[in-house]
Chains A and B, each alone.
Chain A
Amino acid sequence: MPSASRQPRLIGAVALLTLLLVIALILASSVGATNVSWRAAMSGDATARAILVGIRLPRALLAALVGATLAVAGVTFQTLLRNPLADPFILGVSGGAACGASIATAAGLARLPGVVPVIAFAGACGATGAVFLLARRREYTDPTRLLLSGLVLNAFFSAVILISFGLSRQSDLAAALRWMMGTLFGAQWSDVALLAVLLSISLAILATIGNDLRMLAFGEDDAKSRGVHVERVKLIGFITASIVTGAAVSVSGIIGFVGLLVPHLMRLIWRRDFRFLLPLCALGGGVLVVLADLLSRVVVTSSELPIGAFTAVLGVPFFLSLLRRNR
């Protein structure tokens, strides 16, 4: 047996993606409507510093963190539900967040700072809990019921969102719509710090159950026979991925297809198990969203296009070709 087929070489893949992420971050923080340079900011230009350090850098970093979070949640859901089409949004997590946000908007709370993210986060957690309880029968959580519950709840959330929009004031609608389409506009360093901490914790938790989680690929009975505590691993994985998704959605709105697209891309390139894909998805998701956010800012200079549209424009054709492959 050739030794090339042995230990997967994670270091090379991580180094490559880290390099790409750094390049994307430098690009994203250097390019924009206003022409300012890092050199000017370093030499004491207050305007340049305000734009780069106060606006673009936190925005680029938040984009990387949101992308990393969604991709990590995606690969986790795909692994633990044994379903290539699972992603955080199909499971109703984002629908719950959007539902909370739109109700808050209809109630006129959107103009109070910080209210929408908190309510969105609560909505995401509520949806997660509801989906999980609906899918649970006795001691067992059925992956198919989990997906089905998510889909059905999403339909319900969509209805609530439409009704809320109908009840919202015209002046609040623009912001609500922008949130629904995903935006990193107005990213704060506090958002960056919060998400960085949550993402680190969830990566640590997922790495801890990684050896067990990847065994689920062979089926739950098989994993059980290998000494894996299947229900415990599913519960930990599901809750971890959901909470961190809720946090990401609350700061960025709904950015679609990252959670679906990135794990499949990484798997197509490296074709390895969950333990290997976890760090790659974190980095790859970061690269994708940083670039999508950059495009959303620079394609037209007069306004910002929704970032969710750019990830979806990339994601939908991929999703469809994936469906064809899996037929």
Chain B
Amino acid sequence: MLALRDVSYAYEGARAVAGISASFDPARLIALTGPNGSGKSTLLKLAARVLVPHTGEIAFDGTRLRDWPAKEYAKHVAYLPQDPDPTFSMRAIDVVVSGRAPFLGRFAWERDSDYDEADRALAVCDAAHLGGRYLDEMSGGERKRVFLARVLAARPRLILLDEPLASLDVSHVQQFSALLRDIVDRTGVTVVYATHDLNWAAAYSDRMLVMQRGALALDATPAEVMRPDAIRELFGFDAEAVQAGGRAWLVPRV
């Protein structure tokens, strides 16, 4: 579906990602992880067409990104920045229905069918009851659901989420991770999400990409990533693996 070949990008001379090659298949939940500043956000922005690679190629369905009309690409690939915040408070339903923008003509307003899609997306995110509420009246967890619904409203085939679990409490992290898993399994969409939560990522994702200083250091199954030696090498973090519930959990060595 999406294929990156030797992709590099630099901000004003400072290398952000370098020589990334990877491809994403349908119906996968893929965790993108790595230390702060390792290039996760930049990689997501490149895939979302927010940034244009300086070298290398990204192709979607075999067509290079620069050959995709902008609005057409947005129908297939949806991106959620780290802390989306509309300047002025809006109702959740209006936030979600704005996810239908790539389908609107220049002068067109959202039609009933767009609101139906928005309602559906809210329901998928267990947020149907939030439709009429304003964003500034919501908890952090509720807002995250609304913005995930906004991404789903376009029925994309690839979803790119930049740290959707940041600043959620542990119970919401689990709920949200399970929700992502459920959406992938039910709809066949592929979700790539940046996260620092290795344990939850390993518990729910199909595949983990670990970035280090702009390069893709490891692209493997959760079981292969969750080894103390790999974690020490990639994150500089001393941990031991504990077996529970049939999988390995990393526990810090204090």
Q: Is the CB of A5 within 8 A of B93?
A: yes
Supposing A218-B98, A226-B74 touch, asked if A7 and B50 sit within 8 A by C-beta, the answer is: no
Contacts of A45 in B (CB 8 A): none
Q: How far is the CA of A273 from the CA of B90 in the complex (A)?
A: 8
Supposing A222-B84, A227-B74, A227-B102 touch, asked if A6 and B115 sit within 8 A by C-beta, the answer is: yes
Contacts of A207 in B (CB 8 A): 107
Pick from B84, B104, B131: contact of A5, CB under 8 Å: B131
Q: Is the CB of B131 within 8 A of A1?
A: yes
Chain B, residues 74-106, CB within 8 Å of chain A (1/0): the string is 100111110011111111011000100110101
Could you tell me the distance in whole angstroms from the C-beta of B37 to the nearest C-beta in chain A? 17
Nearest residue (CB) in A for B110 is A7
Could you tell me the distance in whole angstroms from the C-beta of A143 to the nearest C-beta in chain B? 10
Chain A to chain B contacts (Cβ below 8 Å), 7 pairs: A5-B93, A217-B86, A218-B85, A218-B86, A222-B79, A226-B101, A271-B91
Could you tell me the distance in whole angstroms from the C-beta of B138 to the nearest C-beta in chain A? 15
Chain A, residues 201-216, CB within 8 Å of chain B (1/0): the string is 0000001101100110
Q: Is the CB of A227 within 8 A of B70?
A: yes
Q: How far is the CA of A208 from the CA of B86 in the complex (A)?
A: 21
Q: Is the CB of B104 within 8 A of A211?
A: yes
Q: Is the CB of B109 within 8 A of A275?
A: yes
Q: How far is the CA of A82 from the CA of B78 in the complex (A)?
A: 22
B45, CB-defined interface residue at 8 Å: yes
Q: Is the CB of B93 within 8 A of A1?
A: yes
Q: How far is the CA of A260 from the CA of B94 in the complex (A)?
A: 24
Nearest residue (CB) in B for A216 is B87
Q: Is the CB of B84 within 8 A of A218?
A: yes
Could you tell me the distance in whole angstroms from the C-beta of A222 to the nearest C-beta in chain B? 5
Number of A interface residues in the complex (CB < 8 A): 33
Nearest residue (CB) in B for A78 is B87
Q: Is the CB of B128 within 8 A of A211?
A: no
Could you tell me the distance in whole angstroms from the C-beta of A151 to the nearest C-beta in chain B? 19
A2, CB-defined interface residue at 8 Å: yes
Most B CB within 10 A of own CB, among A78, A79, A273:
A273
Contacts of B74 in A (CB 8 A): 225-227
Nearest residue (CB) in A for B162 is A221
B163, CB-defined interface residue at 8 Å: no
Q: Is the CB of B88 within 8 A of A222?
A: no
Most A CB within 10 A of own CB, among B50, B104, B108:
B50
Could you tell me the distance in whole angstroms from the C-beta of B161 to the nearest C-beta in chain A? 12
Q: Is the CB of B81 within 8 A of A222?
A: yes
Contacts of A79 in B (CB 8 A): 87
Q: How far is the CA of A2 from the CA of B128 in the complex (A)?
A: 11
A169, CB-defined interface residue at 8 Å: no
Closest 5 CB pairs of A and B: A227-B71, A227-B70, A225-B79, A227-B74, A225-B48
| Given A225-B81, A227-B102, A229-B70; 16 other pairs, CB 8 A cutoff | A1-B93, A1-B115, A1-B122, A1-B128, A5-B131, A7-B109, A84-B88, A207-B107, A218-B84, A221-B79, A222-B80, A225-B78, A225-B79, A225-B160, A226-B101, A271-B88
A111, CB-defined interface residue at 8 Å: no
Pick from A5, A217, A218: contact of B91, CB under 8 Å: A5
Q: How far is the CA of A73 from the CA of B20 in the complex (A)?
A: 44
Q: How far is the CA of A215 from the CA of B74 in the complex (A)?
A: 13
Contacting residues of chain B (123-137) with chain A, CB-CB under 8 angstroms: 128, 131-132, 134
Could you tell me the distance in whole angstroms from the C-beta of A123 to the nearest C-beta in chain B? 29
Contacts of B69 in A (CB 8 A): 227
Supposing A5-B93, A275-B109 touch, asked if A267 and B101 sit within 8 A by C-beta, the answer is: no
Q: How far is the CA of A275 from the CA of B91 in the complex (A)?
A: 15
Q: How far is the CA of A7 from the CA of B87 in the complex (A)?
A: 21
Chain A, residues 283-327, CB within 8 Å of chain B (1/0): the string is 000000000000000000000000000000000000000000000
B213, CB-defined interface residue at 8 Å: no
A136, CB-defined interface residue at 8 Å: no
Contacts of B70 in A (CB 8 A): 227-229
B49, CB-defined interface residue at 8 Å: yes
Contacts of B90 in A (CB 8 A): 217, 271, 273
Q: How far is the CA of A214 from the CA of B90 in the complex (A)?
A: 12
